Amino acid sequence: MKNRILSVFSAILCLFWLTGVFADEAVKNRLELEEIIVTGTKTKHRPEDVPVDSVLIPRHEIEQSNAQNVSEIIANIPGFNFSQQTGITSAMGYKNTARGLNVESSYLLILVNGQRVFPGYRSGGMTGGGLARNINVVPIEMIEQIEIVKGPGSALYGSDAVVGVVNIITKQPAREPDRTVGIEYGSYEVKGADYLGNEPTDVNRSTQKIFATVSQELNESFGFSLNLTREQNEGIHPEKYDITQTYLHGIFDFKVTDELKLRLGTESANWGEKNDDLGDDKTETSNRYYSVIDYEFHPKNNVRLQIYQQGLDQDFKDPVYGDTESTVMYTDYEFQYTNRSFDNNILTVGYELLEEYFDSSMVDDKRFTTRSVYIQDEFTLFDKMLTIVPGVRADDSEAWGNETNPKLSVMIKPVEGTTIRTSAGKSFKPPSATQNYGVPFNHVYMWIFANPDLEPEKSTSWQASIDQWLMNQKIMISLTYYQMTVENMITQEARGDFIDDVPVMIWKNLNKAEISGIESMIGINLTEGLDLDLNYTLTKSEDNDTGEELVDTPEITYGANLRYTDGEQKYGGFASYLFTGSQRNMVYDPSMSEETESFSTVGLNLWFRVFNRGKVTLQADNLLDAELEGSDTIYAGQTLTAKLSVDL
């Protein structure tokens, strides 16, 4: 441990050498834009005016935290359980849940700049074949803000938005020039054992990163933002791996006229992990291109056309599961019309055409087309005291048929400082291509067979929340209660036969789950520059078929975040504490533990300005080196990281 600490602080001394000298000059002030949320209604609102239960995590809070990826950013948001996910790129995230349902299994819809993405295996996916979902799709240095909408989201977004939507907004073209470069070095120790019982060797490992951002509005008609990140680490596997990820994201904004705006965007992600001694070599390439045309043909009427395409190619040589190749393609066209002809009404109508293509060692050459229409109306009455938002979406898919999902949201502001929100709606999640059309797959402990007769999983839920400001907006209390029922849950059932003494399982619509919970948060402004956030979550979940709790869903979690920034923005700090109660495991082998015991983690982030334009950040994750007793994962113990960023 002592050698690890010395290595990190030796890196800090090198950072000081790179910056030259300390200076007392404050960093150049940057223009702060008004915070806006779009995801909840697909229309712009200030956070306090969003009529659906939403959370906004702005850039400055992301920078102040000790988070290394998206899952760590939202780990302290009530309702999300990312307790067994480490911040190391490519670490497994198959135990991550939101309101009791698995994130990787597509119960939570993931967007980047409002567009559905296919993040694949990298940074946490478990399932091969290009069919896994994970939330760590954008490097943290490229994120401007994160918008989270809780509750049913299919009325606007279609499939997969069962427990909500996470929209990752990347850095936008800046009004003032933003040219930043940075380097990062970290060390971590791996612990635990994987689900095959393998314990790690060479437990002391390292991670490195370089990143750069160039963002600027050159004139009133053109602006751009370019972001590049390259990461390298030694993995979360029993043996050390060579893991790399390069991510490039670009946005180009054109103001053709005052009424007509055009955005072009592109991103490229290249990921790989390799261990030559084991014959393990995996690569994944994902490219996405998009264009957005926004035309305000009348001061209170505008249309928006969005076109994007994402292609994902994988080539896996795995010593356990064999060799697999995958190609996945998304092509999406969306037209949206918004009418604000009346001061108290916003009408939104849209049409979307989504084309999906799958071709892999597990799913052979499948193409699906989904056509969707949606309509939403926002009524504001009684001098903005009451807002009513009904909406409905109809989806027609070649793969799983027709689905219609309504939603009704109501927001009441009875007195100043009090906001009550309630909503009810339906959502759905269709079976994945591997579950419907996959070839038989040997998953070490079992064979898994597809089932072409699977039906979409359907959810009905309602929730009510209250936000209350106290003491001249020094204290904010947020409390949410929700109930959710998921029918036709897809699970694995023993078929009753064996292949080479290994049991055969088949995907079936069997389970019905009932989930309810309380999510609460208190934000306190203790003094100028010093803020304290407290959160508490109670989750009650039950698989009606077995009577047991859902896996990877602790009944109780609670935590605290303390942030400080001095008045001149020269230095600051962040400390976090998170308690996670015990959670049931998915047991594949009788020798495995049935439960991961409760544990607590502490994080720390200290930053200060150096020279005129430099910033040094010292981060610690799992500072007290908490152990995950009973977990079937290899995880990172105490992780220490040093970062230098320089404004050019």
Tokens of 488: 């036709």
Kindly indicate the confidence band of residue 119, based on its pLDDT and cuts at 50, 70 and 90: low
Separation CA 638–CA 604 (nearest Å):
11
pLDDT at 16 over 50: no
Number of domains in the chain: 1
Separation CA 174–CA 587 (nearest Å):
50
Residue with the two structure tokens 């009451």 = 386
Choice between 2 and 137, residue whose per-residue pLDDT is larger = 137
**For position 27, what pLDDT does the model report?**
33
Q: What CATH number has the domain bearing residue 576? A: 2.40.170.20
Q: Which long-range contacts (CB under 8 A, 24 or more apart) does 230-233 make?
A: 231/89, 231/139, 231/207, 232/207, 232/208, 233/88, 233/89, 233/90, 233/205, 233/206, 233/207, 233/208
pLDDT at 445 over 90: no
Separation CA 562–CA 484 (nearest Å):
32
Q: Which residues are 504's β-sheet partners?
A: 447
Kindly indicate the confidence band of residue 474, based on its pLDDT and cuts at 50, 70 and 90: very high
Residue with the two structure tokens 């043996």 = 239
pLDDT at 3 over 70: no
**For position 625, what pLDDT does the model report?**
93
**For position 130, what pLDDT does the model report?**
47
Considering only 19-33, 52-66, 169-183, 388-402, which range has the smallest mean pLDDT?
Answer: 19-33
- The model's pLDDT over 391-421, given as tens digits with 9 standing for 90+, comes to 999 999 998 899 999 999 999 999 999 999 9
Compute the average pLDDT of residues 289-304: 94
Considering only 310-319, 370-379, 575-584, which range has the smallest mean pLDDT?
Answer: 310-319
Q: Which residues are 34's β-sheet partners?
A: none
Which phi and psi angles does 370 have, rounded to 5°? -125, 125
- 168 residue type, one letter: I
- Identify each DSSP E strand in 200-259 by its residue range: 204-219, 222-233, 242-255
**For position 194, what pLDDT does the model report?**
82
- Identify each DSSP E strand in 417-554 by its residue range: 418-429, 441-442, 447-449, 457-470, 475-499, 502-527, 530-543
**For position 120, what pLDDT does the model report?**
63
Q: Which residues are 295's β-sheet partners?
A: 260, 303
pLDDT at 299 over 70: yes
Compute the average pLDDT of residues 231-252: 94
Tokens of 492: 């694995």
pLDDT at 132 over 70: no
pLDDT at 125 over 80: no
pLDDT at 537 over 50: yes
**For position 94, what pLDDT does the model report?**
78
Choice between 606 and 4, residue whose per-residue pLDDT is larger = 606
pLDDT at 195 over 80: no
**For position 99, what pLDDT does the model report?**
95
Kindly indicate the confidence band of residue 545, based on its pLDDT and cuts at 50, 70 and 90: confident
**For position 123, what pLDDT does the model report?**
46
Q: Which residues are 643's β-sheet partners?
A: 184, 617
pLDDT at 126 over 50: no
Q: Which residues are 230's β-sheet partners?
A: 210, 246
Tell me how far CA of residue 279 lies from CA of 40, 215, 245, 282, 374, in angstroms: 46, 41, 20, 10, 49
- Encode 600-619 in three state secondary structure: EEEEEEEEEEECCCEEEEEE
Tokens of 328: 């996945």
Q: Which long-range contacts (CB under 8 A, 24 or more apart) does 562-566 make?
A: 562/530, 562/531, 562/532, 562/533, 563/61, 563/64, 563/530, 563/531, 563/532, 563/533, 564/529, 564/530, 564/531, 565/64, 565/529, 566/529
Considering only 388-392, 445-449, 606-610, which range has the smallest mean pLDDT?
Answer: 445-449
Compute the average pLDDT of residues 151-160: 95
Kindly indicate the confidence band of residue 122, based on its pLDDT and cuts at 50, 70 and 90: low
**For position 157, what pLDDT does the model report?**
96
CA 625 to chain centre: 25
Q: Which long-range contacts (CB under 8 A, 24 or more apart) does 256-259 make?
A: 256/221, 259/295, 259/296, 259/297
Tokens of 128: 């091969």
**For position 7, what pLDDT does the model report?**
46
Which phi and psi angles does 4 have, rounded to 5°? -65, -45
CB of 244 closer than 8 Å to CB of 269: no
**For position 622, what pLDDT does the model report?**
93
Separation CA 237–CA 525 (nearest Å):
42
SS3 142: helix
Kindly indicate the confidence band of residue 189, based on its pLDDT and cuts at 50, 70 and 90: very high
Kindly indicate the confidence band of residue 29, based on its pLDDT and cuts at 50, 70 and 90: very low
**For position 6, what pLDDT does the model report?**
40
pLDDT at 33 over 70: no
- 181 residue type, one letter: V
CA 460 to chain centre: 23
What is the average pLDDT score of the chain? Answer: 89
CB of 433 closer than 8 Å to CB of 366: yes
SS3 15: helix
- The model's pLDDT over 93-102, given as tens digits with 9 standing for 90+, comes to 778 899 999 8
Exposure b/e, 412-442, CB count within 10 A at least 16 = b: bbeeeeebebbbbbbbbbbbbbbbbbbeebe
Task: Determine the structural domain holding residue 378 and report its residue range.
Answer: 2-647
Compute the average pLDDT of residues 493-507: 91
